[in-house]
Amino acid sequence: VQLQASGGGLVHPGGSLRLSCAASGGTFSSYAMAWFRQAPGKEREFVAISWGRNRGSTNYAVSVKGRFTVSRDNAKNTAYLQMNSLKTEDTAVYYCAAGYPIMSSYNAWNGYRYWGSGTLVTVSS
């Protein structure tokens, strides 16, 4: 499975961006699709997940809940991360990941087998 993240850029605080993650290979609908981010000097952290295997459910990090929305289009083999009300602390490289994480540890980066190359999001005035 190959993943390609896109959609990053520079945005003012309070603004919005939509990230995309295009997948090729594998059975997209069966994978959980997650987003992680890594800010300079910090560890990679979980952002959101869209569960596969027809579960149709999502989970979010506390820091983004209510502002970010993860979704997927299985027909297009693409996952999305809609980011609204962006804050300067959202500045990071955002990565998409795919796999079959354990329910109890879906926020751990090592639970995902496939990773995209990352896209930079900069929130600044």
DSSP string, the chain: -EEEEE--EEE-TT--EEEEEEEESS-GGGSEEEEEEE-TTS--EEEEEE-TTTT--EEE-TTTBTTEEEEEETTTTEEEEEE-S--GGG-EEEEEEEE---GGGTT-GGG-SEE---EEEEE--
103 pLDDT above the threshold of 90? no
Q: With bands split at pLDDT 50, 70 and 90, how would you rate the model's confidence at 25?
A: confident
CB atoms under 10 Å from CB of 54, counted, come to 8
Q: Please, what is the average pLDDT of the chain? A: 94
Q: With bands split at pLDDT 50, 70 and 90, how would you rate the model's confidence at 52?
A: confident
Q: 62-99: per-residue pLDDT in tens?
A: 999 999 999 999 999 999 999 999 999 999 999 999 99
54 pLDDT above the threshold of 70? no
Q: Count Cβ atoms within 10 A of the Cβ of residue 45 and give its class: 0-12 exposed, 13-18 middle, 19 or more buried.
A: middle
Q: With bands split at pLDDT 50, 70 and 90, how would you rate the model's confidence at 18?
A: very high
